[in-house]
């Protein structure tokens, strides 16, 4: 809108120049026309950011300068165009009642003419002013409507993301309840029945007792695994920064017997909650596999921000190598998370032995 107003003002001033060159306007009209040009192009933006009192003062001064151009140029076409600019800027700065006052005063510029000519010219100027006011108001409303529509789209996008997040949380909680109430209960009953069976076995049934002891250990381990799974489903990633959350994971793995260090490369930057959640889960899954399967003596976590618009997470160990567990869903889940973000996950042997889990996502 501001650019269009500037173009219109410059065009009106050039028309004044043409009027002067053609002899239909006095050269003296160039002085107030130049002042009008400077005010309308350079002063308008600064005044628009100030209070309403400044708006009224600006319109009054511009009105007087426009009147001077109109009178000195003997009602030239360029002067009329400058008055159109005056009306448009008044619409942008003042209430509609003030705009109406300015529009109704403009025909009075022809008061010194003969009655029929003054009436004809005045009505023409009034029509041009009303047209300029209406067109400017419509453009303003269109811009406001576009801005409101963009804001509404942004709110809808935010609501959609929130609805998706809540739906995911509800589904996670539902799965957690199903596991806890179904499989967890069944394993608890099995574990208790095995324990009761061992208690009633005759003392000489050593072999059966050993087998039941192993079965009980397996049932207890399965029960612990169910509880870990339920906890992972219900647990939300800590609200701490991602690097601190990874440090907590590393400390847990170190406490479990696999010394783990964390390295951060590059300068950390803000990431979306979904991106941080995916990187955290990749580290969590990688370190869980290190503890369970890798038989490693040490592990490393690396969070790499060094490449623009891409974040890389590495989980490295010096264990027996990378072989996804048959039927395992951990790596599949990570790949689904990464694909949703437009990234990738790889698991491959590390140089020097062990395995290397890598997640790369935009961020």
Nearest-5° angle of CA 312, CA 316, CA 320?
145
Burial 70-91 (b: 16+ CB within 10 A, else e): bebbebbebbbbbbbbbbbbbb
Q: What are the C-alpha distances in Å from 41 to residues 10, 11, 315?
A: 8, 12, 60
- What pLDDT is attached to residue 324? 56
Domain ranges for the chain: 2-112, 238-363
pTM of the full predicted structure?
0.48
The pLDDT of residue 338 is above 60 = yes
Model pLDDT, residue 290: 85
Where residue 316 falls among pLDDT bands split at 50, 70, 90?
A: very high
Q: Which of the two residues, 60 and 288, has the higher pLDDT score?
A: 60
Average pLDDT across the chain, whole number: 84
CA distances from 112 to 24, 71, 115, 116 (A): 18, 10, 9, 11
Q: Yes or no: say if 278 and 285 are a contact pair by the CB < 8 Å rule.
A: no
* Each residue's pLDDT tens digit, 165-217: 788 777 777 776 666 666 666 666 677 777 777 777 776 667 676 777 777 77
300 close to 261: Cβ distance less than 8 angstroms: yes
- Model confidence at 236, pLDDT cuts 50, 70, 90, reads low
Q: Which residue has the higher pLDDT, 298 or 229?
A: 298
Q: Does residue 354 have a pLDDT over 50?
A: yes
Q: What is the mean pLDDT of residues 268-284?
A: 89
Residue 263 makes CB contacts below 8 A (sequence gap 6+) with: 300, 301, 302, 303
Residue 327 predicted with pLDDT over 50: no
| The predicted structure's pLDDT at residue 185 | 61
Helix (H, G, I), strand (E, B) or coil at 236: coil
pLDDT tens column, 22-66: 887 888 989 999 999 999 989 888 898 899 999 999 999 999 999
pLDDT 10s digits, 64-117 = 999 999 888 888 888 899 999 999 999 999 999 999 999 999 998 887 777 777
Q: Is the pLDDT of residue 19 over 90?
A: no
Q: Is the dihedral of CA 104, 105, 107, 113 positive or negative?
A: positive
Q: What is the mean pLDDT of residues 265-269?
A: 92
Question: Tell me, what's the pLDDT at 326?
Answer: 47
299-304 sheet: strands from edge to edge: 260-265, 299-304, 310-317, 355-362, 344-349
Q: What pLDDT, on a 0 to 100 scale, did the predictor assign at position 313?
A: 96
Query: Where does residue 6 rank: exposed (0-12), middle (13-18), buried (19+ CB within 10 A)?
Result: middle
Q: What is the DSSP string of 185-222?
A: HHHHHHHHHHHHHHHHS-TT-HHHHHHHHHHHHHHHHH
Thinking of the domain 238-363, which architecture would CATH place it in?
Answer: 2-Layer Sandwich (3.30)
The answer to whether 102 touches 63, Cβ cutoff 8 Å, is yes
Dump strand ranges (E) for the chain: 260-265, 299-304, 310-317, 344-349, 355-362
**CA distance linking residue 168 with residue 233, whole number of Å:** 10
Report helix, strand or coil for 114.
Answer: coil
Q: What is the Cα–Cα distance from 276 to 343, expressed in whole angstroms?
A: 13
Q: Is 259 or 180 the better-scoring residue by pLDDT? A: 259
pLDDT above 90 coverage of the chain, percent: 33
Residue 218 has pLDDT above 80, yes or no: no
What's the average model confidence in pLDDT over 324-333?
63
With a cut of 80, say whether residue 323 has pLDDT above it. Answer: no
């Amino acid at each position: 809108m501001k650019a269009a107003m500037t173009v219109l003002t410059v065009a009106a001033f050039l028309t004044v120049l043409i009027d002067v060159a053609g002899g239909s306007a006095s050269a003296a009209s160039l002085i107030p026309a130049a002042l009008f040009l400077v005010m309308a192009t350079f002063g308008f933006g600064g005044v628009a950011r100030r209070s309403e009192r400044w708006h009224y003062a600006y319109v009054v001064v511009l009105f007087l300068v426009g009147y001077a151009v109109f009178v000195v140029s003997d009602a030239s076409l360029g002067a009329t165009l400058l008055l159109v600019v005056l009306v448009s800027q008044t619409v942008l700065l003042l209430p509609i009642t003030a705009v109406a006052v300015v529009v109704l005063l403009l025909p009075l510029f022809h008061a010194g003419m003969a009655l029929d000519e003054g009436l004809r010219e005045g009505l023409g100027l009034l029509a041009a002013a009303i047209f300029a006011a209406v067109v400017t108001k419509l453009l303003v409303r269109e811009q406001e409507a576009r801005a409101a529509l963009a804001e509404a789209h942004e709110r809808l996008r935010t609501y959609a993301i929130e609805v998706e997040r809540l739906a995911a949380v509800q589904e996670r909680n539902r799965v957690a309840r199903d596991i806890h109430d179904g499989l967890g209960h069944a394993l608890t009953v099995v574990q208790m029945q095995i324990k009761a069976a061992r208690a009633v076995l005759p003392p000489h049934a050593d072999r059966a007792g050993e087998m039941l002891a192993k079965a009980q250990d397996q049932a207890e381990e399965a029960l612990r695994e169910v509880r870990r799974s339920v906890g992972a489903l219900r647990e939300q990633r800590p609200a701490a920064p991602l690097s601190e959350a990874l440090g907590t994971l590393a400390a847990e793995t170190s406490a479990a017997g696999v010394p783990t260090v964390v390295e951060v490369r590059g300068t950390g930057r803000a990431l979306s909650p979904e991106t941080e959640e995916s990187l955290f889960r990749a580290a969590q899954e990688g370190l869980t596999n290190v503890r369970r399967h890798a038989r490693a003596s040490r592990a490393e976590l690396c969070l790499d921000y060094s490449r623009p618009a891409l974040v890389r997470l590495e989980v490295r160990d010096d264990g027996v190598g990378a072989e996804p567990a048959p039927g395992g869903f951990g790596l599949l889940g990570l790949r689904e998370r990464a694909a949703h973000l437009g990234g990738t996950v790889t698991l491959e042997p590390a140089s020097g032995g062990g395995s290397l889990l890598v997640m790369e996502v935009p961020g």
